[in-house]
Structure 1
Amino acid sequence: MSKTKIDGVAAEFFSAFDNRGGKAADVDRVRRLIVPGGVLIKAGPEFTVYTVEEFIEPRQQLLVQGRLVNFNEWETAERTETVGAIASRFSEYRKSGILDGEPFEGGGTKTMQFVLTSDGWRIAAVSWCDRP
């Protein structure tokens, strides 16, 4: 049962910025999925630590200004381990869209740390590393 719930939270996170077919992305979903004080970390050459708001702001601007369209990001593989009220998930993912008129595709690895709260499973931290 826990795995099914965690799968659902992960899928919601991956789809939060989906704006394919002209639909509006639901970036507020990220605020609901991540616990207060949660962190998002971009690893790699441009190492950056974000609060939830710092993570959402530039992405929302890309979407609102219409610079990023037909965007989609999805898991291609995952491994989840749960111990009591904590869980860790490693995901491989792909993404595609059109940024500033140019089509792009990419992917990488994400890790998500989950905690079981009174409201169900929520994300405590996300780290990712994109591959070119």
Structure 2
Amino acid sequence: MSESTGPAADVAEIERIVDVFFGAFVSGPEAAGRLAALHELFLPEAVVVATCGQPPRVYDVDGFIAPRRELLMSGALTDFTEWRGGGRTDVFGDIAHWWGDYGKAGSQEGERFTGRGMKSMQLVRMPQGWRISAAVWDDERDGLSID
């Protein structure tokens, strides 16, 4: 992907937020703490939207985190991890955007799986630092590939 634009300190802080976001989605006993930390990354009024070949599913922050906490801690989803691939961060004043690909892998009910997709995050500078105001994603599927 293209190079990021904006002040280096802002780009670095946004990249850190993106890393913490993806790092939250790892199964195991520490999942609850990692997911709880997501609250500090988001504006309380943030919107999260998933498409993935279905009608858009729109979540508020708690509505996004709660089912993922259940999945990552219930034991039905094991050895799960999600990671960012390439991405681009653009900053203009007090607004920013991260766009990039990601991967995921794990086992659900004993069945191994992998996947990839694209995510977009919009961020705003608040007095306490950068916060995600919106996040959207779509996953690869038949007829839709990152490559």
* TM-score normalised per structure 2: 0.84
Which of 23, 30, 35 aligns to 1:24? It is 30
Tell me the residue number matched to 2:127. 118
Instruction: State the AA in 2 paired with 1:34.
Output: F
**Cα distance, 1:24 vs structure 2:** 1.7
Paired residue secondary structure (2:137)? strand
Aligned length: 130
Runs of 4+ more than 3 Å apart: none
The Cα of 1:23 is off from its aligned counterpart by 4.6
Match of 1:71 in 2: 80
Match of 1:27, SS state, is helix
**Superposed, which structure 2 residues align to 1:51-90 within 5 Å?**
51-90=60-99
Gaps of 5+ in 2: 1-8, 142-147
Q: CA deviation at 1:18?
A: 1.3
Cα offsets for 1:29-70 (capped at 9, x unmatched) = 111110110010012324110011111111111122111111
% of aligned pairs identical? 38
Q: TM-score, normalised by structure 1?
A: 0.93
Secondary structure of the structure 2 residue equivalent to 1:56: helix
Higher strand share: 1
SS of equivalent to 1:53: helix
Stretch deviating more after TM superposition (111-120 or 22-31)? 22-31
The RMSD of aligned alpha carbons is 1.2
- SS, match of residue 124 in structure 1: strand
Q: Tell whether 2:28 aligns with 1:11.
A: no
Which amino acid in 2 is paired with 1:116? R
Structure 1: which amino acid aligns with 2:127? S
Provide Cα deviations, 1:2-49, integer angstroms capped at 9, x if missing partner: 000000000000111213xx4521110111110110010012324110
Structure 1: how far apart are the matches of 2:98 and 2:72? 27
